[in-house]
Amino acid sequence: MKEIVWSNTKINTLISCPRKFQLQYLDRIKKPSKGDPLCIGSGFGKALEEFSYNDKLTLTQLMQIYDTEALDHPAVISKANIRAHRYLVSQYFSDPKNVIKPAILNGKPMVEYKLEFKVDGIKFLGYIDIVSSKGFIVDYKTAKNPYTQKDLEPFSEKGMQLTSYALGYYERFGRIPKVGFQVVIKTNPIVVQRLTSHRTMDDIKKMKSKIIECDNYIKTRTNFNRYRSYKCKFCAYHGQECTK
C-alpha cells in the first residue's frame, strides 16, 4: 500500500464513496478534469492572487490575467463559456470592498498559502486561498446559490476544509485562527457573501482523529464499498469502472 498524502478533497471522497477513492487515488484511474468550471475558477483565483501582490493593477490588467489563465488552461472545453464568465472577475474587482487584504509573512502575501503537516506521521497537504490581514483563513468559492451557516459547521462537507486548514495553521503557528468563506454568487450582477466562523481545540483534535481514521481505513481494507447517492450521476467512473 502506497503512502497517501491526505488532503481535504481525499477525505471527503473517502467519506462520500470509498470505491471512488480507491479508483481515483489507489488505482489512479485518471479521468478528464472538470473542464470549464475549473478553468473559470482558476482564472478568477489567479486574478485575485495577482491583485493581492499588487493592488494597483487596473481592471483591464486583471481581465488579461483572467483570460491568460482561464483560456490557456489545458482543461478548456468551451472558450465562449469562459468568456461569458468574465463578468464575475470584472464585477468583483469593480467594488474594492470585495477584495480581502492578505497578511504578509516574510515579505510575501499569504495567498495560496501552502500548509504541509503530519498527524502521527501521516502527511497532510492543503493550500489556503488567503490568510487575511486580520488573521482569518478565507476560502474563495463561486456558487449558484448562497451558502448557509450549516456549510460552515466544522465537519460538514464544505466546513471540514476550513477545519483541516485551522488544524494546519495551529500546527504551524500555535494559534487557532478564525475561518470563513467568501462566496461569489453567480447572478448578474454578482452577490458577494461573507461567512465567518471559529474552530475550537476540540474540533482540532477531532480533525486529527479523522485523518488517522481515514489513513487506517485504507491501510486495512482490500474491498472498498460503493456508497450510492445522487452524486453517482456526476461521478466520472459511473457506468465505466463502476458499473454495478
Q: What would you measure as the largest C-alpha separation in the chain, in angstroms?
A: 55
10 binds ligand SF4 (CB under 6 A): no
CB of 211 to ligand SF4, least distance (A): 22
In a 3-state reduction of DSSP, which class is residue 182? Answer: strand
Q: Is residue 19 near ligand SF4 by the rule CB under 6 A?
A: yes
- Assign 3-state DSSP to the chain and report helix, strand, coil percentages, each to 5: 45, 20, 35
Q: In what order do the strands lie in the sheet with 136-143?
A: 111-119, 122-131, 136-143, 178-185, 191-197
The correct pick among 123, 178, 186, 226 for binding ligand SF4 (CB under 6 A) is 226
Strands 104-105 and 108-109: antiparallel
Among 20, 199, 206, 208, binds ligand SF4 (CB under 6 A): 20
Closer by beta carbon to ligand SF4, 175 or else 233: 233
Taking CB under 6 A as the rule, does residue 237 contact ligand SF4?
yes
Q: Please, what is the minimum distance in Å from the beta carbon of residue 29 to ligand SF4?
A: 10
Query: Considering the complex, what minimum distance in angstroms separates the CB of residue 15 from ligand SF4?
Result: 12
- Contacting range for ligand SF4; rule: CB under 6 A; set: 57-65, 109-117, 182-190, 223-231: 223-231
